[in-house]
Amino acid sequence: MRLDIWYIALALLFLLAGEVFGEWMARSHDHSVALVHSHINVIGWASFALFGLIHRAFPALAGSVLALPQFVLAVASAVFFIGGMWVIWAAGDVFGAIAGAYGLMAATVLFIIMFFQRVVFAK
């Protein structure tokens, strides 16, 4: 599985979703969900595109056993986090967003480990 391609493909879909959401906010003058919009864009678009480009720049990362778990955890957590922020706005329940936030932090730690093992300290 080409994780560089998949990260960038997903990032493009998040960008479109973020733009549609932003346009809806602008048109409805309802900015109360701006945090959902901003995180679709900064996590889904910007961070995922960067994960994809970093994978592309350092192909050795794909050889790590952590690469696929990191990808699956990051994507699932982003969905929980962004969906959970919407649930906080709609219903006040914080569980999904907190689970997503810890998942995203864990996915970041996995990426850091991969980068140090496969790039920084690579022979």
Residues forming the site for ligand HEM (CB under 6 A): 18-19, 22-23, 25-26, 31, 34-35, 37-39, 41-43, 45-47, 101, 104-105
Closest CA to 83 of 104, 64, 62, 54: 104
- Output the smallest distance, CB 82 to ligand HEM, in A: 10
> Which residue's C-beta sits nearest to ligand HEM?
22
Please, what is the minimum distance in Å from the beta carbon of residue 38 to ligand HEM?
A: 4
Q: Is the CB of 20 or the CB of 122 nearer to ligand HEM?
A: 20
The structure tokens listed for 113 are 């480990």
Q: Which C-beta is closer to ligand HEM: that of 26 or that of 57? A: 26
User: Minimal CA–CA distance to 5: which of 43, 59, 41, 65?
Assistant: 59
Cα–Cα distance between 20 and 22 in angstroms, integer? 5
